[in-house]
Chains A and B, each alone.
Chain A
Amino acid sequence: MNLTKHLLKPLSYFGLAVTLVPCILVFLGEMNIENYKNTILVGTSIWMFTAPWWINKE
Chain B
Amino acid sequence: MQLKKLFAEQVESVNEYEREPVPKSEVKGFKSFVGMVSGEHIAGTEFVIGPLFVLHGAAAMDVFWGLLIGNLLATLSWVLFCAPAAVKTRTTIFYQLERISGKGIVTLYNSVNGLLFCVTASAMIGVSASAVGIMLDIKGPGLNDLYPTSPLWVGIIFAIGAVITVVATFGFDKVSKFANIFAPWMPIIFFSAGVAMLPQLGVTSISDFFTVAEEKIWTGVPIDGQTKYTFWHIMIFAWLCNSAMHLGLSDMSIYRYAKKASYGIASAFGMFIGHFMAWLASGILCAVALQMGESNPSPGQIAFMGAGYAGLLCVVIAGWTTANPTIYRSGLAVQGLFPKLKRWKITLIVGCVTTVLACSPAFVSKLDQFLGVYALCAAPIGSIVLADIFIFPKIGLISNYAEKKKSWLNYSVLLSWGLSILGSYLFYKGFDLDFYFFAAIPGWLLGFITYIITAKLIQSKADDKDVELENLSVNELN
Contact = CB atoms under 8 A, between A and B. Distances in A.
Contacts of A56: 177, 180-181
A8 to B, nearest CB: 13
A11 interface: no
**Range for the number of chain A residues in contact with chain B:** 20 to 34
A36 B196 contact: yes
Contacts of B196: 22-23, 26-27, 33, 36
Nearest to A24: B195
Contacts of A43: 310
A38 B91 CA distance: 47
A33 B204 CA distance: 14
B184 A16 contact: yes
Given A40-B308, A41-B310, A16 B188 contact: yes
B460 interface: no
B191 A20 contact: yes
Nearest to A47: B185
A22 B180 CA distance: 24
Interface in B292-315: 307-310, 313
Given A44-B313, A56-B180, A29 B308 contact: no
B184 A20 contact: no
Nearest to B176: A56
A12 to B, nearest CB: 9
A44 B195 contact: no
Contacts of A36: 192, 196, 308
B313 to A, nearest CB: 6
B245 interface: no
Given A44-B185, A44-B189, A19 B310 contact: yes
Given A37-B307, A37-B310, A40-B310, A20 B204 contact: no
B34 interface: no
Contacts of A51: 181, 184-185
Contacts of A24: 195
B188 A20 contact: yes
Contact of B185 (A19, A23, A37, A41): A19
A40 B180 contact: no
Interface string B180-223: 11001100110111011011000110000000000000000000
A10 interface: no
A36 B193 CA distance: 10
A41 B199 CA distance: 21
A55 interface: yes
Nearest to A13: B184
A34 B203 CA distance: 19
B309 A27 contact: no
Contacts of A38: 308
Contacts of A41: 308-310
Given A19-B310, A44-B310, A55-B180, A27 B199 contact: yes
A40 B192 contact: yes
Contacts of A19: 185, 188-189, 192, 310
A1 B209 CA distance: 48
A29 B191 contact: no
Given A19-B189, A20-B192, A22-B196, A37 B309 contact: yes
Contacts of B204: 27, 29
A21 to B, nearest CB: 9
Contacts of B195: 23-24, 26-27
A41 B185 CA distance: 12
A16 B185 contact: yes
Q: Which 10 A-B pairs have the closest CB atoms?
A: A37-B308, A23-B192, A23-B196, A23-B195, A26-B196, A44-B310, A56-B177, A40-B310, A41-B310, A19-B188
Interface of A: 16, 19-20, 22-24, 26-27, 29, 33, 36-38, 40-41, 43-44, 47-48, 51-52, 55-56, 58
23 contacts: A16-B184, A16-B188, A19-B188, A19-B189, A19-B192, A19-B310, A20-B192, A22-B192, A22-B196, A26-B195, A26-B199, A27-B196, A27-B198, A27-B203, A27-B204, A29-B204, A37-B308, A41-B308, A43-B310, A51-B184, A55-B181, A56-B177, A56-B180
Given A26-B196, A51-B181, 7 more contacts: A20-B191, A23-B195, A37-B309, A41-B310, A44-B313, A52-B181, A55-B180
